[in-house]
Chain A
Amino acid sequence: MTDNANNNTLLSIVNACKSFGRVKVLKDINLEIGTNEIVGLVGDNGAGKSTLTKVITGVYSLTSGDIYYKGQKITIHSVKRSRELGIETIYQERALADQQSLWINMFIGKEITDKFGFLNVKKQKQETERMLRERMGYTSSAITIDMEVKDLSGGEKQGVAISRALFFDADLIILDEPTASLSLSEAKKVQDFVVDIKRSGKSAIFISHNISHLYPVCERFIIMDRGRIAGVFFKNDVTQEKLIEKMIQLARTGILE
């Protein structure tokens, strides 16, 4: 199926299945994500989007099937491994710790340390400050790096999660429902980040129920339904309205045209 020697393929999943006990959650998944490609992953609840994400990021391991990354067959046995490979995730639950400071959350799991594991507090704070002010554009003095995350708004927390992914120069950034419970202007900020990812030459998988947030920034759409890939469309082939129509029809009839 896939041409794994293709230089433009970043991630390739071949005949992947995932079961939890006797429940088959992912069935024969075959998909590709290209280099510098923004792909939208859509589907109803229970379609398997979250499970697919967690298989890519190492939270779960595949029951069967293969994953190829930059042409090499790999096994992602842990989250640490996927982060080492250059895959970063912005989770729906955001994976932040509320009582810890911004600069701790920024670097969690990838701390700047000396060879004994002692933190370079100064450097971590400096880099967090830089990301905060320059990359994220938070110039207001109401947000400081010593702040605990629980004192940030939903959009600001999302901003921290996103800049964390951007900072580590990930080649593939997965955004799982990044605009859920955000205001319009905050959601727009998320879209700007995705555009930023494209401009930086990186790839992203954008998962969302909200087609109007997702459609403008994606180039290709993968539709999942009940554990399978139901269809793949390029942006040119389908308008936002048409995409929504297809998905409603899929939910009703189980068939995708």
Chain B
Amino acid sequence: MLKNEIKATRNKKLIFDSEKFKKSKLTIGILVVFMFIYLIYLIGNPKVFTRYDIYYSFMSTIPFTAIMALPLTLIVTLGKIDLSFPSVLAFSAWVYSYVFAVTHNLWLATLLCLLTGVIAGLLNAYLIESIRIPSIVATIGTMFFFRGLVNVCASGRGISLVGAKGTFLYNISVERIYGVVPAQAVWMLVLGIAFWFLFNRHKFGVYVSFVGDNRESARMMGINVNAVETICFIMMGFFSAFVAILSNLEVTYFWPSQGQGYLMTTLAAVFIGGTSVYGGKGTIFGSFIGALIIGTLEAGIIAIGLTGFWIELIYGLIIIIAVSIYARIMPKTT
């Protein structure tokens, strides 16, 4: 009698706690949050949200945060953090603009810009892997270092990139496809899908999660932990430089103080998306949706009639509510 009762409760438990269902809980959760917020926008100001203009604006701006949130997800899944990427963005943007201004060779500028990002990533990796500085401290250091480099190199001056307009590289970066879709939105989609496959279907993604979950276990099973972590930091640097190109071409201008706004929003996108700060559990899809939520928030809040003063309050509320939900539905057993 008792055995059957135990079996029945076990079976019931299985339906609701089966691992496949658990995994989709997170995905469903973040989508529900997004849909809920979007519904508020739609109801609050249907005139704005049923016309193309606002989406055109979103597609022009959200990709910058979204693309950087992708490698950042890998870094957080590793159990690490990178606070330097906005500064790396700014410095590689300076390299890009300066090289273009001097040589008028956009290909060279692109190459050197991306190389700058890679070197910045290598520097972070060296400090964290070889010198063994905790990532938060190391990247605070490099955050200031690269910001300082921009300040010194640019001397407070902007650089025009108008000369890049109409070139092939400009067109594939930010030109409007058929006049309607900003190219950066396509990049965002393509990179989002690529990162999803890398994280969920490639052995590198397995290694990132495993290392973030238990670094020692990964080492004992033969994974080159240093290499995995180094590659992730290089990717972060590379894509910061990549976004630098997109965002600077978008306004055809370089200005030295750029990038700073991205720090909190990109981090927020990753955490709202559900990636665990403890490491070992990440979600690319979540970070993508998180970037959409963060990216639409400012415009959405204003559109529904609240003043700009409400923006940070609501940012904070969403972050707290989202991570609280995740903490409840995804308990980490000690």
Contacts and interface: CB of A to CB of B under 8 A. Distances in A.
Interface of A: 58-59, 78-80, 82-83, 89, 91, 93-101, 104, 108-111, 113, 116-119, 121, 141-142, 144, 146-148, 150-151
Contact of B201 (A119, A144, A146): A119
Contact of B19 (A79, A121, A148): A148
Contacts of A100: 206, 209-210, 213, 280
A100 B210 CA distance: 7
B214 A98 contact: yes
B311 interface: no
Nearest to B210: A97
A108 B214 CA distance: 12
Contacts of A147: 19
B3 interface: no
Interface in B176-204: 197, 201-204
By CB atoms of chain B within 10 A, which of A94, A100, A146 has the most?
Answer: A100
B202 A59 contact: no
B147 interface: no
B214 A80 contact: no
A95 B220 contact: yes
Contacts of A98: 213-214, 280, 333
A17 B217 CA distance: 26
Contact of A89 (B19, B201, B204, B220): B220
A146 B214 contact: no
For the residues of B in contact with A, the DSSP-based class is: helix
Nearest to A113: B203
Contact of A141 (B14, B210, B217): B14
A91 B20 CA distance: 29
A142 B19 CA distance: 11
A50 to B, nearest CB: 12
B18 A78 contact: no
Given A89-B220, A109-B221, A99 B203 contact: no
Contacts of A108: 206, 210, 218, 221, 223
Contacts of B20: 146
Interface of B: 10-11, 14, 18-20, 197, 201-204, 206, 209-210, 213-214, 216-224, 280-281, 332-333
A200 to B, nearest CB: 22
6 contacts: A91-B220, A108-B221, A117-B202, A118-B202, A119-B206, A141-B10
Contact of A101 (B19, B221, B224, B332): B19
Given A97-B213, A100-B210, A109 B222 contact: yes
A144 B197 CA distance: 24
A59 B210 contact: no
Nearest to B220: A95
Nearest to A80: B222
Contacts of B10: 141-142
B217 A95 contact: yes
A108 B218 CA distance: 8
A97 B218 contact: yes
A119 B203 contact: yes
Contact of A93 (B14, B210, B217, B332): B217
B221 A79 contact: yes
A16 B124 CA distance: 38
B222 to A, nearest CB: 4
Nearest to A97: B213
A112 to B, nearest CB: 9
Contacts of B209: 97, 99-100, 104
B11 to A, nearest CB: 8
A80 B224 contact: yes
A41 B267 CA distance: 50
A106 to B, nearest CB: 11
